Structure 1
Amino acid sequence: MITPVIMAGGNGSRLWPLSRELYPKQFLKLQSDMTMLQSTITRLAGLQCTNPQVICNEEHRFIVAEQLRQMGMLAHNIILEPVGRNTAPAIALSALTAVANGQDPLLLVLAADHVIKDENAFRHAIEAAMPFADNGQLVTFGIVATSPETGYGYIKRGQKYEFVSHSVDSGQRESISPAFAVEKFVEKPDIDTARYYIENGDYYWNSGMFLFRASRYLQELKLHRPDILTACQQAIGNLDPDMDFIRVDKMSFMACPDDSIDYAVMEKTSDAVVVPLDAGWCDVGSWSSLWEISEKDEYGNVQRGDVVNHDSRNNYVFAESGLVTTVGIENIVVVQTKDAVLVAAKDKVQEVKHIVNYLKKTERTEYRTHREVYRPWGKYDSVDIGHRYQVKRITVQPGEKLSLQMHHHRAEHWIVVAGTAKVTYGDNIQLVGENQSIYIPVGTIHALENPGKIPMEIIEIQTGAYLGEDDIIRLEDRYGRV
């Protein structure tokens, strides 16, 4: 049985303004009606897998929980990293969790932000790798390189192995599938070196995907990086139960060294195997790479949302809210969200990071959050803000409730526009229906709940001298945020 371990950390700043620090690319719907995280899970269909373990940042926990809940796969299977410590410690947490539960599964380590077009080939490669992992070897998947990319690391193959695999779809024996000993891992090359790798034919792109037995990974980690293993054992030995989350000890994990699985284990072990993967793989690292893998119209344009192009070619145009039009442009990326617009030459999109760094430096919020912000109970959209007032559209999912709270600096006026609100204010509880409103004075203890069967929406008007989110004093909260 395989346990998928999905790495869902990272901030995805190169896909700004759609990707933000608190809502990065792995949680976005970039190519289909599913998010990248959900697509990563869905492509495992046909393999014998348990529910996935998702490893994510503390700040993203409710986004991950909601996306797993939508798929019926939320089962106390989210490991929270209090701080980022790279992939070697993160995978160790997953392996230690499995072993602590009396299990020793094959761990299939995947990134949540990869695109794979040929899912049958992907599943076939995993099945081809399983005999090696069952035999105690550590398998990595090497992407069959199609161009001299300087943005990827490479894997050089060595001795060839052969074995007969089984078809994931039919269960019938198929042709012999190759695999190779790993001769070495190679850092990101310059362009001339990358061209040599392509011509040589013995080099694959390093996908960052792995398959191995949980216990074998821990054995290799103990051999090569015992300091990482010890820190992770201490972190996992003092768990804090929290709903659907596995929350490790923060101080122990902060003491853990920062290192990737490549450096910590794969480059040092004598049992590394690479299985070739030719499945239309893409690490969506920029708007130009997203353009390359997306379906285009007859003029080479990719368009998402309400877009009208005229005499325009080879562009990527994304409209989140409202109409976006183009006239006579070529090789341009246009991305419009509710609070920001990016216009960039397609061959310069890697420099978006400079914009994000500037926004951080000048303490603007657009690098970190969208205008629309997701919470465990639903979401809110900051429609308008001015001197001493702010207007939000708040959506509360059925059965969910905001924390019991109060504010020192602002009053709130709620107008229900859909559904029914159950409002606690002071010692009173009141049902407020559509087209009705209620006023919450400054300093009043209050809570908002949706007792109904459909999403409840209200327009909230805040007034006061200070309207920051840190003027929320939580007294009770079902999501553990007090």
Structure 2
Amino acid sequence: MKLILLSGGSGSRLWPLSNNARSKQFLKVLKNEQQQLESMVQRVWGQLNTVGLADSTIIATSKSQVDMIQSQLNSQADLVIEPVRRDTFPAIVLAASYLYSVKNASLDEVVSVLPVDPFVEASFFERMLDMEEALNSSQADIALMGVQPTFPSEKYGYIVPEAHTQTNDYRVVNRFVEKPKESHAAELMEDGALWNCGVFSFKLEYIINLLKEKGLPTNYDELLEGYGELPKISFDYEVVEKAEKIVVLPYDGYWKDLGTWNTLTEEMAAGLIGKGQISPECDNTHLINELDIPVVVMGLSNVVVAASPDGILVTEKSASPRVKEVVANLVDRPMYEERRWGWYKVLDHSKFDGGNEVLTKRIGVKAGKNLSYQFHHQRSEVWTIVKGEGVLVLNGKMSVVRPNDVIQINKGEYHALKAVTDLELIEVQSGSELIEEDIVRVMMNWDEIEELCYASAN
């Protein structure tokens, strides 16, 4: 079996900790067996390792999330990267073409697709292994995983099976009901309906044939080149609802969608994360603070307080699902991002008359990691090293940098930096348009950068 993990989303339901670059699956608020903070994606990857599925897994994601996935999973995951954001149908068929034409997977291979962030026990992934047998024995087009409901929820979609197929192995699907009212959900539960947790399987041949029928290329490189022209539609609408025969496997273990603050805080490692204090009279109150200043909560119960460089949220837990709609017009550039080499925080962004902008960042580079060899068209930069030791490359010349060193980098000048020890610097950008897209990367690999410097010196 091959697995495709779907990693997408803008994360606005968990604002201000999540943003366009850091979706909910990357928030380090859970606790692992070593009592260390971990994210949802790190938890899932560890579970896949436990059941022996990690080596068979690829992650389909967008360009904005690549660095964070590589950072949190130590570059262990095989990635399929969307050149532009579309929807789940384009993402899944791109990943399927990668398995077919790049990894040379057999057309008989069973491929399972799931979100990257389910909060489940390891038994969930063990149950997924049964989907291969269900597909083979039922001759179905699609096999789904359905969670046994524990209460009539209005938040989830329901899979309604045929009444005469009540076996534990699989059930033939009759229909789908999307987020019903509570009273209707209770009736569906009586009829044996299951929560749709977004997990499904198919034979690789099924998707490859579908691509051929639609006149789309099955070769990964060709499909990638025309990716922006693929229909922006979900896999459910484009494939699942049109399938002739669908079966569902019931799962009666623990499963939860940690998509809102009230559900996430139920599973968090602690009531307080970061600098701050919650007074004793507060009941069922959580404080998550990513700022360098303390936050104190007094006299408030059933409340979430979340503070990050992107903003501050104070909400009753019952109201927290509405965060997405309330902050819809507040979305700006991400103020904090994790990258493959470390992280950065935006400290200040000012715009002046005449069109000039100044952006100040604090940047952390992990020991042994490096920033790419790059230049900018629209901005100059001043770096002040505040911690650690590194090697600077500026216009092909190498030098050692240490705390208190100041480096001036003008527009068009080529530069790179490698951290010998954990290194931090303050970067002040100045220019007419200060955007991440104004980075022209020449080289990523440090060995190649060094070779270029040696060649220039000789």
Shorter-chain TM range is 0.7 to 0.9
Corresponding residue number in structure 1 for 2:222:
238
CA distance in 1, matches of 2:201, 2:437: 47
The separation in 2 between residues aligned to 1:53 and 1:444, in whole angstroms, is 37
Q: Tell me the CA shift for residue 203 of structure 1.
A: 0.8
Asked if 1:404 is matched to 2:374, the reply is yes
Distance 1:4 1:85 in 2: 20
- Quote the Cα distance in structure 2 between the aligned partners of 1:53 and 1:471: 27
Q: Is the 8 A contact 1:334 1:343 kept in 2?
A: yes
> In the alignment, is residue 268 of structure 1 matched against residue 272 of structure 2?
no
1:133/1:44 Cα in 2 relative to 1: closer, same or farther (>3 Å)? farther
- CA distance in 2 between partners of 1:348 and 1:29 (Å): 23
TM-fit CA distance, 1:357: 1.4
Quote the residue 2:179 is aligned against.
188
Please name the residue that 2:334 is paired with.
369
Q: How does 1:8-157 map to 2 (within 5 A)?
A: 8-32=7-31, 33-49=37-53, 50-68=55-73, 70=74, 73-74=76-77, 77-100=78-101, 101-104=103-106, 105-116=109-120, 118-120=121-123, 122-135=124-137, 136-137=139-140, 138-157=142-161
Paired residue for 1:343, among 314, 324, 327?
314
The corresponding residue for 1:286 is 260
Letter of the structure 2 residue corresponding to residue 314 of structure 1: N
Report the equivalent of 2:328. 357
Q: Is the 8 A contact 1:312 1:328 kept in 2?
A: yes
**Separation in 2 of the partners of 1:465 and 1:150?**
49
Instruction: Tell which deviates more after alignment, 83-92 or 436-445.
Output: 436-445
Aligned equivalents of 2:174, 2:437: Cα separation in 1: 57
Question: 2: distance between equivalents of 1:444 and 1:87?
Answer: 39
In structure 1, how many angstroms separate the alpha carbons of the residues matched to 2:433 and 2:392?
A: 23
Task: Check whether the contact 1:133–1:139 (CA below 8 A) recurs between aligned residues.
Answer: yes
Change in 2 beyond 3 A, CA 1:191/1:51: same
Q: How far does the alpha carbon of each residue in 1:162-208 deviate from its partner, in whole angstroms, 9 at most, with x for none?
A: 5xxxxxxxxxxxxxx4421111111221232122223x141111111
Aligned to 1:431, which of 374, 392, 400?
Answer: 400
Superposed CA deviations along residues 71-100 of structure 1, whole A, max 9, x for unmatched, are x624xx211122333223322222222222
Contact 2:387 2:424 in 1 (8 A): yes
Q: 1:167 matched to which residue of 2? A: none
d(CA) in 2 for partners of 1:269, 1:13: 32
Per the alignment, in what secondary structure is the counterpart of residue 206 of structure 2? helix
Give the letter for the 1:474 counterpart: V
2:11 and 2:18 in contact (8 A); partners too: yes
CA distance, structure 1, for counterparts of residue 24 and residue 436 of structure 2: 26
Question: 1-side partners of 2:326 and 2:135: how far apart?
Answer: 43
**Does the CA contact (< 8 Å) of 1:114 and 1:284 recur in 2?**
yes
Q: Which string of whole-angstrom CA distances, capped at 9 and with x for unpartnered residues, describes residues 317-366 of structure 1?
A: 21223433222212222111134110112121122122331214xxxx2x
Change (3 A) 1:323 1:331: same
After superposition, what is the alpha-carbon deviation per residue over 1:45-68, rounded to whole angstroms, capped at 9, x for unaligned? 343433411101122222223333
Shift of 1:7: 0.3
Q: How big is the shift at 1:303?
A: 3.2
Cross-structure match for 1:172: none
**Alpha-carbon distance change, 438 to 253 in structure 1, aligned in 2, over 3 angstroms:** same
* 1:380 counterpart residue number: 344
Q: Check 1:213–1:41 CA distance in 2 against 1; reply closer, same or farther (3 A cut).
A: farther
Q: Which residue of 2 aligns with 1:304?
A: 273
The residue type equivalent to 1:119 in the other structure is: A
Q: What amino acid maps onto 1:6 in structure 2? A: L
- Distance across 2 between alignment mates of 1:338 and 1:331: 24
Look up the equivalent residue of 2:182 and give its one-letter code: I
**Contact between 1:19 and 1:25, CA under 8 Å: does it hold in 2?**
yes
Deviations 1:112-157 (A, max 9, x none): 12211x322x134223333113344321111111122112111001
SS at match of 1:44: helix
Q: What code does the residue aligned with 1:423 have?
A: V
Change (3 A) 1:233 1:16: same
User: Match of 1:169?
Assistant: none
Q: CA deviation at 1:39?
A: 1.8
Question: Secondary structure of the residue that 2:222 maps to in structure 1?
Answer: coil
Give yes or no for contact 2:282–2:301 (8 Å, CA) kept in 1.
yes
1:472 and 1:265 map into 2 onto residues whose CA distance is 38
1:262 & 1:473 partners in 2: Cα distance? 37
Question: Is 1:455 matched up with 2:426?
Answer: no
- For residues 266 and 456 of structure 1, do their structure 2 counterparts lie closer, same or farther at Cα, with a shift above 3 Å needed? same
Distance 2:154 2:407 in 1: 58
Q: Which runs of 5+ in 1 are unaligned?
A: 163-176, 240-247, 297-301
Answer yes or no: is the 8 Å Cα contact 2:383–2:425 preserved in 1: no
Q: Is the 8 A contact 1:390 1:461 kept in 2?
A: yes
1:466 Cα deviation from its structure 2 partner: 4.5
Aligned residue number for residue 5 of structure 1: 4
- 1:410 and 1:466 in contact (8 A); partners too: no
- Kept in 2, the 8 Å contact 1:41–1:52? The answer is no
Task: Report the Cα distance in structure 1 between the residues aligned to 2:125 and 2:437, rounded to whole angstroms.
Answer: 49
Conservation of the 8 A alpha-carbon contact between 1:17 and 1:341? yes
Contact residue 13 and residue 353 of structure 1 kept, 8 A: yes
**Residue among 435, 445, 470 paired with 2:413:** 445
Q: Normalising by structure 1, report the TM-score.
A: 0.79
Shift of the 268–439 alpha-carbon distance from structure 1 to 2, 3 Å rule, reads closer
Tell me if the contact between 2:159 and 2:193 (Cα under 8 Å) persists in the aligned partners.
yes
For 1:417, which of 379, 387, 391 is the aligned residue?
387
> Can you give the 5+ residue segments of structure 2 that lack an aligned partner in the other structure?
32-36, 446-458
Give the 3 Å change call, closer, same or farther, for CA 129–428 of structure 1 in structure 2. closer
Aligned 8 A contact 1:4 1:53 in 2 = yes
Tell me what 1:168 maps to: none
Deviations 1:209-242 (A, max 9, x none): 01232123444x469xx43xx33637x2427xxx
2:301 counterpart SS class: coil
Q: Distance in 1 between matches of 2:19 and 2:95?
A: 26
CA-atom RMSD, angstroms? 2.8
